[in-house]
A and B are shown apart, each in its own frame.
Chain A
Amino acid sequence: MTQTGEIVCNDISKVFETGKEALSSVNFTIPANGIFALIGRNGAGKTTLTRILSTLLEPTTGTATIDGLDVMSDAKKLRERMAVVPQEGKAISWMTPLQSVSSYLMWRGMSYKESRTKARETLARVGLGDVVDRLNRKLSGGMKRKVLVAMVIASDSEFIFLDEPTTGLDPISRQDLWNLMTELSKERFIFLTTHYLEEAETVADRIGILDDGKLLALGSMDDLRMKIKHQYSVKVQKGVELPEVEGKVLVRRDGQVHIMTTQDEALRLSRILIDRKAQFSLNPIKLDDIFYDVVGGNALNEETDGET
């Protein structure tokens, strides 16, 4: 069933010619507004799903619609309304930001003159107003990514797909892009993939957790918090002798112990740790805790000690 104002995936699977199954029966419906962040480890299937939704890749089975338009049969109509910054996309080295943005707008049908004006405005908006005529190869990594983002913003597309746009950026450039995405999401829908959990938690209205081609969880941060049993996270320094704990205990490779537990148990544990003069932190769970809980102990090189 197609629905307007929503992104709907019905039983989407993707098996590549090599036999690798990248997506396995992915189903979800999300409103096509704000920012949706798809998180997962490398190889989880984020890029494959993004490419299917952005009409770049055919699914093996299943259907997907954006605002009621099928990504396969209505691709032509959808391409009028969407824009994509692909994973590892780069600003063309022999061009300037102004040339990059304006030529992309011409591919979208704008006249040369109109595209130049619009490109200048957009580049100024993303903070590249002073470097519009500098060659892309002379720009910093953050600036180059901003050129790509400026290309899609300038297009006035309603649906913007950003596949790992902040990978490899320094914290300041990353923060700049987050601010830009947040501002942009007031008027457009942004589909973002990232493996920076902090990024998803900071900017996204809704988050999907994908692992091994399967969608394991979906919802707002509050929804996701409600889905897991333990609401508090206690991180204890390596070498501290721990009492019996009720909750989920993970031991990182660096020896730090990560315990997810209930509020009462967290308070009991912290009293014991204070008595033992141990170094620890106690916090309400964050997205990384939810991620570890949902994806399992293998996430980010952690090893599960089992649930006690």
Chain B
Amino acid sequence: MRRQGRQLSASILVVAIYEMKNYPVILLNSMFAPLSFLTLIWFVSQGTLLVPGIIGGLIMVMFSSGTSLQSDLAHLKNDFKLQDMVVSSPTSASTYVMGIAISEIIYSLPAIIILSTLFYFFVQVTLIQLLGIIVVLMLVFIMTLSLGFALATVTSDMVQSFAFTRLLTTLFSTLAPVYYPITLIPMPYRYLAYLSPTTYAAQIAQNLSGTLSSSMNDLMIDWTVLIGLTLVFLWIGVSKSRWREK
């Protein structure tokens, strides 16, 4: 256990701590995207979409943390060949990836702290509702993390990898109804929004925070799709990723 803790710490030091320590400007960069979009939504809606905006910001942070794993792993693997050095060491794939996953959260901590503070002051929820929102955020993180790991192990082109991360983040956490209720999207375009897994997460979180009122059936579908997709992506991440190459 102690050894695994050290191996986890190594991943966290390399991907998050040393980068932030040696380049502090990164701290600003990591909180810029979610907060700038929240500010825009807040101004345009004249404050009415502040609550879904805060929750949307948290979902975006979790989503982009997960997808960042893909580009970070691919960067370390293809540009620095670090993964080869780690594979041929006593560190296991799960420990290495878990360490980098935690790093992604640490990397996003400035944004998480600010959004959580705003959440505390502006979002009125019970403890159960709060726990529900945390579960939703964790599912989003695990889902994108799994997908990111699977993609990273088969990606060899870094330009494509970074572009793919940005594309996923734009499509699924800014364009999709994450910062705003799905009811604002006119029909029939609303159906397109259901192609995004984050739509289901946002609907659940918005219901729990009282900014959207869905039927029990719709909520059951949202939970089923979110958990189902997370399990599918987790399965892809575990079974399709490669530690030792074939």
Show the binding face of A for B, using Cβ within 8 Å.
17, 51, 54-58, 75-76, 79-80, 82-92, 94-96, 99, 103-104, 106-112, 135, 148, 151-152, 155, 161
**Across the interface, do A89 and B80 meet the contact criterion of CB distance under 8 Å?**
yes
Contact A99:B13 (CB < 8 A) given known A85-B85, A109-B3: yes
Contact A94:B79 (CB < 8 A) given known A89-B84, A112-B9: no
Among candidates B6, B19, B85, residue contacting A109 with C-beta atoms closer than 8 Å: B6
- Secondary structure dominating the interface of B: helix
Chain B 91-108: CB-based contact to A (< 8 A → 1; otherwise 0)? 100001000000000000
Nearest 3 pairs between A and B by C-beta? A106-B10, A89-B81, A86-B84
Q: Does B195 contact A (CB under 8 A)?
A: no
Q: In the complex, A138 Cα to B183 Cα: how many Å?
A: 53
Q: In the complex, A111 Cα to B5 Cα: how many Å?
A: 9
Looking at the assembled complex, report how far the CB atom of A238 sits from the nearest CB atom of chain B, in whole angstroms: 42
Contacts of A91 in B (CB 8 A): 80
Q: In the complex, A104 Cα to B90 Cα: how many Å?
A: 11
**Across the interface, do B22 and A112 meet the contact criterion of CB distance under 8 Å?**
no
Q: In the complex, A152 Cα to B79 Cα: how many Å?
A: 19
Contact A56:B13 (CB < 8 A) given known A90-B79, A96-B22: no
What residue in chain B is nearest A105 (Cβ atoms)? B10
What residue in chain B is nearest A89 (Cβ atoms)? B81
Q: In the complex, A89 Cα to B11 Cα: how many Å?
A: 17
Q: Does B86 contact A (CB under 8 A)?
A: yes
**Across the interface, do B85 and A103 meet the contact criterion of CB distance under 8 Å?**
no
Contacts of B189 in A (CB 8 A): none
Contacts of A148 in B (CB 8 A): 85
**Across the interface, do A106 and B7 meet the contact criterion of CB distance under 8 Å?**
yes
Q: In the complex, A88 Cα to B76 Cα: how many Å?
A: 12
What residue in chain B is nearest A90 (Cβ atoms)? B80
**Across the interface, do A75 and B13 meet the contact criterion of CB distance under 8 Å?**
no
